[in-house]
């Protein structure tokens, strides 16, 4: 199953080894999920996860985070996004995750920022579901666990 992860999922997974976000990253590592990535999304991951404030919260070194990013670059499925949906989300930076989900044929866009993707959205998201990490894990357990 192919998924797109909002940056907040990786952030939470590095911040805490418990919870649904960390479990989702473990599933990626174990090959249970396939992660769609694009250059803009990967650059966003790099920018947010390598900030000094982030490293301090994670209690990790920059090299530790680079290891995680290297894994994502290696294990992720690179997608060239040639058509921009431009759903006009409240946060312009979130549009790239919608574009990637459409272009990659992902089943889910997993985010903790549900409101940013649902409120004032001009686009009907029919080909994939925007879902929280905990809701994703509940669905996963019902169907696969």
The pLDDT tens digits of the residues spanning 126-143 come to: 688 889 999 999 999 998
Annotation: CATH topology of 2-137 = Rossmann fold (3.40.50)
DSSP code of 35? E
Going from N- to C-terminal start, the domains of the chain cover 2-137
How far is CA 88 from each of CA 9, 27, 40, 42, 98, rounded to the nearest angstrom?
Answer: 22, 31, 17, 21, 10
Q: How confident is the model at residue 36 (pLDDT cuts 50, 70, 90)?
A: very high
Q: Is the pLDDT of residue 27 over 70?
A: yes
pTM: 0.90
| Strand locations in 59-132 (E) | 77-78, 108-110, 129-131
Q: Is the pLDDT of residue 117 over 70?
A: no
């Amino acid at each position: 199953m192919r998924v797109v992860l909002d940056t907040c999922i990786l952030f939470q997974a590095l911040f805490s080894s418990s919870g649904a976000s960390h479990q989702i990253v473990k599933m990626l590592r174990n090959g249970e999920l396939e992660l769609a990535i694009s250059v803009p999304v990967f650059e966003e991951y790099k920018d947010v996860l390598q900030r000094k404030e982030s490293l301090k919260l994670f209690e990790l070194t920059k090299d530790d985070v680079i290891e995680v990013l290297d894994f994502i670059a290696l294990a992720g499925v690179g997608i060239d996004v040639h058509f921009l949906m431009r759903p006009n989300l409240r946060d312009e930076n979130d549009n790239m995750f919608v574009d990637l989900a459409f272009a990659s044929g992902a089943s889910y866009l997993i985010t903790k920022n549900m409101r940013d993707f649902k409120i004032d959205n001009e686009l009907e998201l029919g080909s994939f579901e925007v879902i929280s990490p905990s809701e994703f894990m509940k669905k996963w357990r019902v169907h696969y666990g």
